[in-house]
A and B are shown apart, each in its own frame.
Chain A
Amino acid sequence: MNPRRKKRLAIVGSILIGIGVVSGLVLYALSQNIDLFFTPSEITQGKKETGLKPSLGQRIRIGGLVVPGSVKRDPENLKVSFRLSDMAMPIVFKDSDPMVTVYYEGILPDLFREGQGIVANGTLTEHPPTGLSIEASEVLAKHDENYMPAELAEAAGQKHDKATYSDKQLQSKDN
């Protein structure tokens, strides 16, 4: 290679490496802030590396799996509460796991069900019976990357029924 090309290769190469290092460091420094949500264990025990813990009254997002059997829906209106636990593989729910209760009033996303991933946006509060909880203003479903036909899912013990609402529940929203 002639010397001019060699020089240009060196310049372009060092620009690329420089940018790589700089953005790597920036992203590493920001890594805690780029996360979209807190997990239930991060809310109760703080983030793993920094011990950073959200304070009461702070507006945060929480993400976790809906604990089976924890969903309580009011038959009169759209109020619903459920508990979230960490999304860890393999999925097992233990009572000793850190959990946070979410209170929400509104229509749940179609993909909501027990065991499903959920991201909720709201204020962190302390409710006497359940401990740390989120008063959510928005509940989003976070589905996983697995797709399968219904027959295969049923064989694997997976089923999805979306939440249904009575007229009475729906009318309570308008009032």
Chain B
Amino acid sequence: MWKWLHPYANPEVSYHFTNKLLPWLSALAAIFLSIGLVWALLFAPADYQQGHSFRIFYIHVPAASLSMGIYFAMAVAAFSSLVWQLKLADASAAAMAPVGASFTAIALITGAAWGKPMWGTWWIWDARLTSELILLFLYLGVIALHNAFEDKNLAGKAAGILTLVGVINIPIIKYSVDWWNTLHQGSTVSKLGKPSMSLDMLWPFIFCFIGFSLLVGVIICLRFRNEILARNSIRPWVRELVKNNSSN
């Protein structure tokens, strides 16, 4: 496996790889998101007690689980950057942090908009909501550290340590609704046993979830590409690339 992964430690190879990956990812994301969102927002049946308000589920849940998934991916990158000193891992972590922060914010905002009509409150300090808010602060801290140092390697190290310290928050968010009593309901889809929703509600969710995941992949690839260029701007291959692009 290491032999296979090895060429991607080279920034130039990674740059061209993301270039090749991007059109496919974007096309798939567009297909899944448009099918999923139209199905979810227009054709999926309304919930028996929440009515149409329930449809915010199709954005809230993918955003919330991706906010945790991106953090985990960032932690894996930070780990490999600290242990193996892969410069590219730092670049990818820096590329992921703002995307994760945005999805955390989306989860919190859609959650508040859903909570007001259903629970009767925008916000409550229960374990699930509080730990998700802490996740947003962790992301903001990581972003701040990536930008706090002139030296990108030093910045990556500092941000990486914070990322690894914060990774303990991920299982806490995930299991908060099981470990403590909260106002937030338990998991509908990601749990042992059958999902607690009927199939005609579940299918559009699966499309939305895959679509949002692909969208995250697209945005991270775009940002990763820019990080590589910015961090290697003095290298000959980047100069060559810029020259070729400006002559077209």
Contact = CB atoms under 8 A, between A and B. Distances in A.
Interface of A: 5, 8-9, 12, 15-16, 19-20, 23, 27, 31, 34-37, 39, 63, 109-111, 113, 119, 138-154, 158-160
A154 B183 contact: no
B118 interface: yes
Given A145-B185, A146-B197, A8 B48 contact: no
Contacts of B197: 146-148
Interface of B: 45-50, 54, 57, 79, 82-84, 117-121, 124-127, 161, 164-165, 167-168, 172, 179-183, 185-188, 196-198, 200-201
Given A145-B185, A145-B186, A146-B188, A140 B120 contact: yes
B164 A111 contact: no
Contact of A143 (B118, B179, B181, B182): B118
A135 B119 CA distance: 19
Contacts of A12: 79, 82-83, 164
A145 B205 CA distance: 14
Contacts of A27: 172, 179
Contacts, number: 117
Given A142-B119, A147-B196, A39 B181 contact: yes
Given A140-B183, A143-B185, A152-B198, A110 B118 contact: yes
Nearest to A139: B120
Contacts of B83: 5, 8-9, 12
Most buried by B among A5, A12, A15: A12
A159 B47 CA distance: 11
Given A16-B164, A35-B180, 7 more contacts: A23-B172, A35-B181, A140-B121, A145-B185, A145-B187, A158-B49, A159-B48
Contacts of B79: 12
A160 B48 contact: yes
Chain A contact residues: helix, strand, loop or mixed = mixed
B168 A20 contact: yes
Contact of A149 (B167, B168, B198): B198
Contacts of A109: 118-120
A63 B46 CA distance: 27
A31 B180 contact: yes
Contacts of B188: 145-147
Contact of A141 (B118, B125, B172): B118
Contacts of A149: 45-48, 198, 200-201
Contacts of A153: 48-49
B185 to A, nearest CB: 4
- In the complex, which of the residues A19, A148, A150 has the most CB atoms of chain B within 10 Å of its own CB atom? A148
Contacts of A143: 49-50, 118-119, 185
B48 A154 contact: yes
A31 B165 CA distance: 21
